């Protein structure tokens, strides 16, 4: 296995571990703002992914992301399942379409991943969803010229976390939160929180 493949494996494992540890927090948040299943759904899928990491073609990032998308399509429940599936399938497809994986291509792939989520679920930034963590992350990466340095990644993950926290003031327009209306105000969106949690774990591995 190449050094890159090793890092990819470590990043996926770190993301899984972070979601497993966040299960109580995510369950509580989704209990208040949704139907309470997000923590358990994420934990279950994270356990499956962790058990499969070694079977992914880790030296090939785009193929690994597509395999991850397929695993999540089958194993992740709730609205998050198909949304995460299209996210990783799209990112993998964009990266596969080009030979190199430079910073500009990664940003393009992440941008397309956001678009895939919007196409499937109809949400835009500001609608109180996982996109409110992912979109600020991508926008922050875009602002920086050149490569994806350690500093760039850590700034971007801060933007994702701020984005996730800012959902506490957003009105729900889609999904189960919308049934609860203004009662969710003051609490952040669990899907946005979950995204920021696993993304921080990934960034910390990559920035290392």
Compute φ and ψ for 166, nearest 5 degrees.
Answer: -70, -15
In terms of CB distance, is 37 or 161 closer to Mg ion? Answer: 37
- Spatial distance between the Cα atoms of 49 and 34, rounded to a whole number of angstroms: 24
Give the x-and-dash track for 59-78 against Mg ion (CB under 5 A). Answer: -------------------x
Q: Using CB under 5 A, which of 29, 33, 34, 129 touches Mg ion?
A: 34
CB 151 within 8 A of CB 123: no
- Spatial distance between the Cα atoms of 140 and 125, rounded to a whole number of angstroms: 14
Please name the residue that has the structure tokens 């990266």: 95
- Judged by the rule CB under 6 A, the positions of this chain that interact with ligand ADP are 30, 34-35, 37-38, 41, 78-80, 83, 117, 121-123, 129-131, 174-176, 189-192
For residue 167, the 8-state DSSP code is: G
In terms of CB distance, is 35 or 59 closer to ligand ADP? Answer: 35
Q: Is there binding between residue 37 and Mg ion (CB under 5 A)?
A: yes
| Torsion 144-135-62-122 (CA) sign | negative
Binding part of the chain for Mg ion, among 20-28, 34-42, 131-139, 157-165 by CB under 5 A, reads: 34-42
> What is the binding site for Mg ion (CB under 5 A)?
30, 34-35, 37-38, 78
């Amino acid at each position: 296995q190449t050094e890159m493949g090793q890092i990819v494996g470590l990043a996926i494992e770190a993301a899984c571990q972070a979601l497993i540890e966040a299960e109580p927090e995510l369950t509580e948040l989704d209990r208040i703002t949704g139907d309470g299943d997000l923590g358990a759904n994420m934990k279950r899928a994270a356990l499956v992914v962790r058990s499969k990491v070694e079977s992914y073609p880790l030296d090939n990032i785009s193929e690994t992301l597509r395999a991850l998308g397929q695993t999540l399509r089958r194993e992740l429940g709730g609205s998050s399942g198909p949304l995460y599936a299209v996210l990783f399938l799209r990112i993998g497809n964009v990266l596969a379409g080009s030979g190199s994986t430079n910073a500009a291509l990664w940003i393009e792939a992440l941008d397309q991943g956001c678009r895939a989520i919007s196409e499937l679920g109809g949400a835009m930034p500001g609608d109180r969803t996982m996109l409110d963590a992912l979109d600020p992350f991508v926008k922050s990466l875009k602002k920086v010229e050149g490569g994806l340095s350690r500093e760039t990644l850590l700034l971007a993950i801060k933007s994702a976390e701020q984005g996730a926290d800012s959902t506490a003031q957003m009105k729900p327009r889609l999904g189960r939160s919308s049934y609860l209306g203004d009662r969710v105000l003051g609490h952040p969106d669990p899907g946005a929180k979950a995204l920021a949690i696993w993304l921080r774990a990934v960034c910390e591995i990559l920035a290392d």
